[in-house]
Amino acid sequence: MLSGEKLSPEEENVLTKRLKDGKQKRRLYELQRIWHAVYAHKVSEQVDEEEAWKIFVSNQKPGRKLRIWISSVAAVTILIGIALSLTQIQKRIPGFHATDTTQSSILPRNIILTLSDGQQVVLSDSVNDLQEQNGTTIRNKAQQLVYHPTVHNEQVVYNTMWIPRGSEYQLILSDGTIVWLNSESEITFPVNFTGEKREVKLKGEAFFDVAKDERHPFIVKTEQFDIRVTGTQFNVRAYTDEPASATLAEGSIQLVRQEEVIPLVPGQQALLKQGIVKVREIELREAIAWRYNAFYFKQQPLESLLNEIARWYDVEVIYQNPTLKKLHFTAGFQRSCSITEVINTLGMTQKIRLEIKGKTLLVKEYK
């Protein structure tokens, strides 16, 4: 059932009877929590199902038995798979519908909008409409900032939006382009596009759904490269402490770096590492899971995985032994999980031991 398999009539009948028992309902909830939270295993091309089951069972409290009333195949799938509803993400990814708004479970914290006159506004539910010097109306509602040009004005006026750790926000530009901003990101943009091109500057990560306008190309400028499009959906990741990348979900884009112009097709990612741009095929769920309130790591070094965790949960990571950074993991979980759930389940791999002390995450060897 949890794994997506259809139960037989006999199994459905047994399940219905069992759920009338409060203890059984709690056991089902536990399985659901595991499925929706995290399962991580040291990376290999094929998951060792028997070993994964042994690891899970060995971590259960003494004397505690899990009576699994759903089919054995479904139960094993729950526990040895990446315990995240990746199929839900996959169903939503192909179309990338703009109506999928920022997750309501995310609470904005000190998101700052800097207006053209230098005034800084902390966005909150109490902040409603703002107005810029050139007459543009800015509407803030439900974790979304929308720009409405009220009159045609050639005056170029810029705003800057800063998203701190542990937050995300949605921005709708004056041309209708939708931008989802991830944690620790900053975007600078004109409140009203004028001239021959639409240009924004980005630090950090954002997913763009660009309003189509072939006469006015849309350009995302980063410190590492530029992305040029006319109307499409793509993700740009440009943090200063890791390789920058651009991933195309729909349409087409061009990555421009110095004299080099690199076209991408859907499902491709351009990765800039040590001054060289490489294009590779990539699973979209891996690159943009954050956009759907989830994390997905496939054969990622522990350092990369925990950097992402640190950015979302606003913690500092300290390694007892630097060699631990090179361990590889595959893991998936929802961003609504608590950091305690995340580190407890990662510890189930018996490869590392994680301890949270205040805002410090200690990474130790498993002993």
Encode pLDDT of 74-114 as tens digits.
223 333 333 334 444 444 444 333 333 333 344 456 899 99
Query: Are the C-beta atoms of residues 301 and 326 closer than 8 Å to each other?
Result: yes
Distance, CA of 50 to CA of 204 (rounded, Å):
40
Encode pLDDT of 287-338 as tens digits.
999 999 999 988 889 999 999 999 999 999 999 999 999 999 888 888 999 9
How many separate domains does the chain show? 3
118 falls within a domain: yes
Distance, CA of 290 to CA of 62 (rounded, Å):
37
Give me the pLDDT at residue 151, please. 67
145 falls within a domain: yes
Statement to judge: residues 131 and 201 lie in one domain: yes
Q: Name residue 363's beta-bridge partners.
A: 319, 354
CATH number, residue 330: 3.55.50.30
Query: Are the C-beta atoms of residues 250 and 209 closer than 8 Å to each other?
Result: no
Encode pLDDT of 232-258 as tens digits.
999 999 999 899 999 999 999 999 998
DSSP state of 152: -
Give me the pLDDT at residue 202, please. 98
Secondary element (H or E) of residue 343 = helix 339-347
Secondary element (H or E) of residue 319 = strand 316-319
**Paired tokens of 232:** 């499409």
Encode pLDDT of 45-64 as tens digits.
334 444 544 544 454 444 43
Domain membership of residue 343 as a residue range? 288-365
Q: Name residue 229's beta-bridge partners.
A: 218
321 falls within a domain: yes
Statement to judge: residues 251 and 199 lie in one domain: yes
Q: Name residue 122's beta-bridge partners.
A: 112
β pairing state of 185-190 and 316-319: unpaired
pTM: 0.74
Structural domain ending residue among the three candidates 39, 71, 91 = 91
Q: Name residue 190's beta-bridge partners.
A: 158
